[in-house]
Structure 1
Amino acid sequence: MAPTFSAPPVSSSRNRARERADRAERTHLLLTEIDDATDAEKDQLIAQLIDVNMPVAESIAARYRRRGIPDEDLEQVAYLALVRVAHNYDHARGHDFLSYAVPSIRGEVRRYFRDQGWMVRPPRGIQEMQGRIAAVESELSTRLGHPPSADELAEEFDEPVSDVEEAMAANGCFTPTSLDQVPSSDTSTIADQLGEPDTGIDAAEARVVLTPVVRRLTERERKILDMRFFAQCTQQEIADEIGVTQMQVSRLLSSLLRRLRTELESGAATPAEDSR
């Protein structure tokens, strides 16, 4: 069954409308007082203007909640943007305060979110599309009666569907799934299901390269290499086995390794040469 979305209560909508009207009226009165205030009085009035409009900053920050950045950080960025706007706003130009403030606050929050919110950073266009989707997704869900599809979002933005789909797929870049998470259908973590590095490939490649060189060694030399590097014998154990001193074994190993290195670097040892 498709999920249903109920419209918000009428009383709630009326309360929000009343709050907006009260805020607009108080903002207008404060701005009028600021115009006629002395420099000493202006700071106090601007502080009141900021306090009255803090819910606006909180509302803008709320659009980016639960995406990997603490709510308090987002709100602080929005508050600081509101403070700058309140101090820079020129009422004499005739522009509405909120029409000037909201885009400025939103821009600051978006920049902060764009710079701090991505653990895996996709291209700038994808980031911006993600922000646009977040801004309208809730309203579209209420209007359509179901979560909007990529096609419906693309129609809303007048953008290619492929761009919207790519932005939706990048949603996990904000907070990637933890490797310690246990899938609902299993008892092991995601990390437990990852493959281990395959060291066998390197070993097979080494055998292909070394085989023709080793075959040209004497039986005694091959035995020394086998005991030292495969059986992990000490130099003294090798000396006891082949009837020489430990110092002689050390010199023999150094000489053997030097010969192997020289032949490998010169390219004298190749599988093709061994096959002839």
Structure 2
Amino acid sequence: MPACVSEPVTVDTAPPRERPAPRPRKRDDYSHCRPLFDQLAALPEHDPGRERLRERLIIEFLPLAEHVAVRFSGRGQSRDDLIQVARMGLVKAVDRFEPGKGADFLSFAVPTVMGEVRRFFRDTGWAVRVPRGLQELQGRLARGTTQLAQSLGRAPTPSELASHLGIDVETVREGLLAANCYETSSLDRPIDDGGLSLADTMGEPDDSMALVDDHQTLAPMLKRLPPRDRAILEMRFFEGLSQSQIAARVGLSQMQISRLLTKILHQLRAQLGE
């Protein structure tokens, strides 16, 4: 039988380099480590040999953690992060395993490691943060949708999901809406064949919005002006005519138009100030 590592070592916590997926090991490949769990459990709590045995077991079962992590790859999280999380799950499994309970370590470790990876997705995989209850509900809905789709041959309706899961329809709709928070679209994503992106269709801040109140206050004042004064203001500020052009249109001199504009604007400012 192969022997375990004979020297004390420390688990490497640095991000692993990109490499091919590890070959799944068979249950018998770990049979040589079973006695180590018994030895670990028999040692006193503060015995220095406990840490050495613990490190040996963790290193022996690292391929198991990597195999679980690879199963979850391609779901929006980096493979290196998934491997690190799976390794943390493995450490928890080694620390919590009790060989006297009867079950073998693999039966205990696999769900423990998978649970740690799933928790990582649940806590960090959401583009928009939503309450934990809604995240868990979304997971139930995803599993229920898969089960019903296989039996119905189509996507289930919210009512069918509610009946299948034993919850009300409004709760199902809320969970389906929360699922939209799991992944967001990039603003640089093209939306047509011409290269137009989502960001290109978004509006920009309009500085004139700050003047809306002034415009609403000024409108009734303009209506109360004499027709000639109102016409002069419209030609100057709405049509963009010069004072000379206005003078030629109304039959006055440019100097008279200048004085009229000054007087009209002074009156309007005074009323706005009031």
TM-score, normalised via structure 1 length: 0.57
Asked if residue 35 in structure 1 is aligned to residue 41 in structure 2, the reply is yes
Q: CA deviation at 1:33?
A: 2.9
User: Cα RMSD over matched residues?
Assistant: 5.2
- 1:133-175 per-residue CA deviation (whole Å, 9 max, x = no partner) reads 778999x8xxx69x98548x969x7556967787677655333
Counterpart in the other structure of 1:253: 265
Q: 2:198 aligns with which of 164, 168, 191?
A: 191
Give the letter aligned to residue 184 of structure 2.
Answer: P
1:34-90 residue CA offsets vs partner (Å, 9 max, x unmatched): 234573322222112112322333344345433332222222122123223323444
Identity %: 33
CA–CA distance in 2 between the matches of 1:20 and 1:68? 30
Q: Which residue of 2 aligns with 1:54?
A: 62
Match of 1:66 among 74, 79, 84: 74
Q: Is the 8 A contact 1:119 1:176 kept in 2?
A: yes
Q: Which amino acid aligns with 1:189?
A: L
Work out which of the residue numbers 22, 25, 28 in structure 1 matches 2:29.
Answer: 22
Structure 2: runs of 5 or more not aligned: 1-22, 247-252
Matches within 5 A, 1:1-276: 19-23=26-30, 25-36=31-42, 39-92=47-100, 96-121=104-129, 124-131=132-139, 149-150=155-156, 158=165, 173-182=181-190, 186-191=193-198, 194=201, 211-219=219-227, 221-222=229-230, 225-226=233-234, 229-230=237-238, 241-243=254-256, 253=265, 255-260=267-272, 262=274
SS of residue in 2 equivalent to 1:44: helix
Change (3 A) 1:104 1:65: same
Quickly say closer, same or farther: Cα 1:133–1:243, change in 2 above 3 A: same
Structure 1: unaligned runs, 5 residues or longer: 1-14, 263-276
1:217-268 deviation line (CA, Å, top 9, x unaligned)? 1346435644664356899x99x9454879x966853541342465xxxxxx
- Provide the C-alpha distance between the structure 1 equivalents of 2:172 and 2:178, rounded to a whole number of angstroms: 10
Q: Taking structure 1 as reference, are residues 245 and 150 closer, same or farther at Cα in structure 2, changes over 3 Å only?
A: closer
Aligned residues: 238
Q: Residue type matched to 1:81 in 2?
A: G
Q: Post-superposition shift, 1:216? A: 0.4
